[in-house]
Amino acid sequence: MIIPVEVQNWYSENRSRLELVERKAKPALDHFTASRGYLYSGRIKTLESVVEKIDTGRVASWSKLDDAFAALIVVPTYSHEPAVRDFLESAFYVEDTRERGATSKPAEQFRFDATRVYCRLTSPSASADLYDQILFEVQILSAFDYAWQKVTHDLVYKHATIEWRRLRAAAQIKAVVEQLDAIAENFDAFVTAIAPSEWAETSAQTTIVRHIDELFKRGSLPSELIPAAPSRLAQTVLSYLQNDGCRREEMRDRVARALHDIDTYLSGKTPSNVPLSLTLAQLLFGIMYQSGAISTKVRQRILLNGPMLLEFPELRGYGNVFAT
């Protein structure tokens, strides 16, 4: 492609400044996104992309080229967007924001839309450094919108041909993505519209979660043992029973017995006597094994450390041990 000499000259003069802006902005963006579990990526426009942007006629001057360096922050849902914008306000000088949904469009049209925050490293009046005068863009996308953008970008918008069917397919996918975002944003309300159905494993896990939660509420278990993910703990406890040959039709009774045995063990202890050198999963496994709620048929590899064997000496006969 032909590169006008004016664009070539600007790019040659400013490429190093753009790289410096990226290097200075990246640590703050990296730290923030990593601490929140968000996805971050950044890029400097290629020379060819700058030419294409100028050719659109939408850029009035070099100082208005606002995405020569651009960053992207991907959040799980758009409910996280305010936190991102607060961070950008605290980390950089925000010159302008174009909010998602601000651009008018017909109700039946589905196309790319994202909040774009336009920043400088510092206030233009606070620094004489040329790189501080460079405007850069930060887009905020949901995970679903990001997936749509990545999938359709090369297939449709960077494709060698323009075809109605491709544009139609991209719009149809975007419509689904918009619906998925709406469901995720309002998940608790959405699930109330779903007719419930019984499934033994799900019912058993619900029973386990509620029972363990009640043990903490009434002080039978010390708060130090509260699991990070109660649902995962319930899945683990249920897997102990399933690997011990528990069939679906007997699951309710087996779970009830295991929880009764856990209550019996704890009734003979005060919270201060419950060992804190074990994870809650280790403690529950030991109780269930000691009481006979599960047997040596269980195939999980369990971390049998000294404190666990001290509390549950019967486990010395358990052979499926995690190798340390």
What is the pTM assigned to this prediction? 0.79
Give the residue range(s) of CATH 3.30.460.10 domains in the chain.
5-143
Element (H, E) at 151: helix 143-152
How does the average pLDDT of the chain come out, rounded? 90
pLDDT at 104: 78
pLDDT at 130: 65
* Cβ pair 41, 11 in contact under 8 A: no
Mean pLDDT of 248-268: 92
* Cβ pair 313, 286 in contact under 8 A: no
Q: What would the two tokens of residue 241 be?
A: 């029973």
* Cβ pair 294, 244 in contact under 8 A: yes
Residues 3-28: pLDDT tens digits?
999 999 999 999 999 999 999 999 99
pLDDT at 92: 95
CATH number of the domain at 5-143, out of 3.40.50.150, 3.30.460.10, 3.40.50.300, 3.40.50.970?
3.30.460.10
Q: Is residue 131 pLDDT above 70, yes or no?
A: no
* Cβ pair 204, 252 in contact under 8 A: yes
Helix, strand, coil share of the chain (percent; to 5): 60, 10, 30
pLDDT at 127: 59
Q: Is residue 126 pLDDT above 70, yes or no?
A: no
Start-to-end CA distance of the chain, whole Å, equals 60
pLDDT at 196: 87
Distance of alpha carbon 128 from alpha carbon 125, whole angstroms: 8
pLDDT at 298: 79
Distance of alpha carbon 61 from alpha carbon 71, whole angstroms: 21
Confidence of residue 208 (pLDDT cuts 50, 70, 90): very high
